[in-house]
Structure 1
């Protein structure tokens, strides 16, 4: 069983799909692990550490991927990588499949068996494989750090001989994993924190972290959560009521962090141009949903926009990747936990159980076809 760990084709992606800790575990399962030279450098892992863990370091993607039964990546294989993979090779990565029908078809046509880590079901058995949570946790933390850096003032209240400096006011919009970590981080830094979400279960979580919950708590709010724990898309009427509540609240905030995402849909617009304009000069908005269209009016992916009034809108992409070493370590552990279930430990070979609920939930392509029901090519 040969496992290949490729460098990421996107030069802006600093994470890597395996770290020495997980390489050692794969070798312990009987695998031959080949790592592309330099794959871990941006995440602080030199080639020598992979070799010390039992891997072979190969020059170039072609040599690394040759005859590999399993390919580990952070992002979906790029078009130029697909011809390097043997037919039937399993590829495990964050596939970003929504709206990517052409890319999925290309993977299928190449004979690749693709697994999307972000489609892992939210069940107890799969918690250790949940890449969305591990990466969102880091993004929530980093959003506060980035927001504080751009704010240019202190976060905690400070009492000095020259007078008292008030604590920064931080408002977190969207209380999933990223939002909860943002609340906890802002609180640790001494800020006064408020938060909002359309899911009623989050109110108790927000308050348990010492923050104040802000939301229109009507009948629609009480039913605004899917069975899988995700937020439902709210009616126009509710969105209008919530916007009015937020409008008055946001004008008093120093830092606003938005994290709201709905799987398979563009990010909901939470902060209008009028709301941005109502904020004080020097205030900061950090939009963690900017890659999906953004929650904040005026946000631009990969840029920090400063309005005429002096409000900054931070639109960093791949925020978890801004903590590349930690993000890679957690992602690699998520990956190993899943891949281990695909390996026959006695035969020391891949033995995918196609009826396993984890496999069925994550398998995108197989035997030249897009097999996941959610991503079938649309009929003409």
Structure 2
């Protein structure tokens, strides 16, 4: 079976879906590998490195010709589909809820499209979870971005000329990205606090040296889905939490927001009034910018400074800003996924369509959009 790795074309996408490391591993499973020329250039991987790992490197038409599986970071645009062979399996991050028309285009093109971001949070799928691997890097990068725009030191410094107080950093959302942001800010010497709607996050935050800030009531005890994601909270809870957060935010130097709800616009956690309460020179890094932003004043894809001197960082696709590391982790997620369905004797993939992983991630199959979340 031939596996094709296609170059990314979307703006600001620097990652690639396979590295020489995973090419070698896939070759070891008996696959033929083909990589589009220049696919790894923005992740600092030369074509020669792919060839040394055993892959054919060529133009897109040659790479896609006869491919049974196509690996990408982000799903192809509609105008890319002309060269995709019917019956091929597309494995990528597809953003199906925001791209419903594109999912229908995949179905019309005869692709079996698998959305890796729908990977269920079960034990055997942990090594395939692209959201976790990429969010981990995003949380780290968020702190670095905050430092870039924060014109002061983070740690307390005691000098002969006097003491510099430690910066205060507040992380909103204690999922994978948030926990990494907490750990990174703490290592850099900041005084860190964090909030999350899930009461279970309290212990995790405190284990990293952060102070947990939240309204604790019965609703918080039921705020996590069986899949491990945060549920959207009631309006009454949001009001109570907003009051607590408003009082906390006005005291902070750095605020990092990470809250996302699958299939929905990012929840608004930081109002314009909260931003206006912050001191000049403070920084907000909004990791939810691509889905509208957790901050009311975030401008997706932009870094802006408010009239009261607060910088709001709204970069899109933050993992891509650490392309080499992000590609290494993303490609391992894809390899682990394919390896789980590998038939050693046939040296091919044996898809079990009743498997809970495939039921969760298959979006299109046999000419139709089949994912339950996209019906109607």
Q: Distance in 1 between matches of 2:365 and 2:221?
A: 41
Matches within 5 A, 1:208-357: 208-357=207-356
Task: Give the CA deviation at 1:160.
Answer: 1.1
Q: Distance in 2 between matches of 1:169 and 1:99?
A: 35
Task: Give the CA deviation at 1:99.
Answer: 3.2
Match of 1:38 in 2: 38
Match of 2:10 in 1: 10
Deviations 1:74-130 (Å, cap 9, x if unpaired)?
A: 001111221111110001000100132211000000000111111111111000001
Match of 1:84 in 2: 83
Task: Give the CA deviation at 1:350.
Answer: 2.9
CA contact 2:142–2:256 (8 Å) conserved in 1: yes
Q: Distance in 2 between matches of 1:160 and 1:375?
A: 60
Match of 1:157 in 2: 156
Matches within 5 A, 1:3-152: 3-59=3-59, 61-152=60-151
Deviations 1:289-321 (Å, cap 9, x if unpaired)?
A: 011111001101110010011100000010011
Unpaired runs of 5+ residues, structure 1, are: none
Task: Give the CA deviation at 1:31.
Answer: 1.1
Unpaired runs of 5+ residues, structure 2, are: none
TM-score by length of 1: 0.97
Deviations 1:303-348 (Å, cap 9, x if unpaired)?
A: 0010011100000010011100000000000000111233322112
The alignment partner of 1:153 has SS state of: coil
Q: Distance in 2 between matches of 1:277 and 1:288?
A: 20
Task: Give the CA deviation at 1:284.
Answer: 0.1
CA contact 1:129–1:333 (8 Å) conserved in 2: yes
Task: Give the CA deviation at 1:11.
Answer: 3.6
Note the aligned Cα RMSD (angstroms). 0.9
Q: Distance in 2 between matches of 1:358 and 1:143?
A: 30
Moved over 4 A (4+): none
Please state if 1:178 is matched with 2:162: no
The alignment partner of 2:245 has SS state of: helix
The alignment partner of 2:285 has SS state of: strand
Task: Give the CA deviation at 1:168.
Answer: 0.6
Deviations 1:248-287 (Å, cap 9, x if unpaired)?
A: 1111100000000111111110000000000000000000
Aligned length: 376
CA contact 2:283–2:311 (8 Å) conserved in 1: yes
Q: Distance in 2 between matches of 1:225 and 1:98?
A: 20
Q: Distance in 1 between matches of 2:268 and 2:48?
A: 46
CA contact 1:67–1:85 (8 Å) conserved in 2: no
Q: Distance in 2 between matches of 1:209 and 1:343?
A: 38
